[in-house]
Amino acid sequence: MKRRSAGWWVQATAVGHGAIGAVLYRDVLADMARAGVVASVPERGDRAAAFWFLAAAPALWMGGRLLRSAEEHGDTAAQRTAGATLVGVGAVGAAAMPKGGFWLLLGLGGEVLRRSRG
């Protein structure tokens, strides 16, 4: 059985992040929808937290897709950059929010770095 690429795992993490955000913030999202969406997110508060939590999912998915392309084309420099970025974001996020999911990014980044060494 062929192992999944690290980029695939980053994309799977993005899908999970979006799904978890939709569940955790369902009441806030419904409130935003009732408000008409446009200009419904202030700079702070529950709506801002929901927005940024969910905004991370497509950005993470895109990063995973680009990483898959780098893996498919043997671009180890891009893979190392992706791995280092995931490790950095994961480490800072895990330090700031130890009960959050940033530990997963830290692990994924380490795996990307390991795989990019050949």
Helix (H) or strand (E) holding 7: helix 6-24
Provide the token pair at 42.
Answer: 């202030």
- Please report the pLDDT score of residue 39 as a whole number: 87
Calpha distance 46→83 (Å, rounded): 31
Q: Amino acid letter at 101? A: G
Helices (H), ranges, 35-101: 46-72, 76-96
Q: What percent of the chain has pLDDT over 90?
A: 89
CB 17 within 8 A of CB 60: yes
Q: 101: pLDDT confidence band, cut at 50, 70 and 90?
A: very high
Q: Where are the domains of the chain?
A: 6-116
Give tens-digit pLDDT for 6-41. Answer: 999 999 999 999 999 999 999 999 999 998 988 889
Asked if 21 and 53 count as a contact pair (C-beta separation under 8 A), the reply is: yes
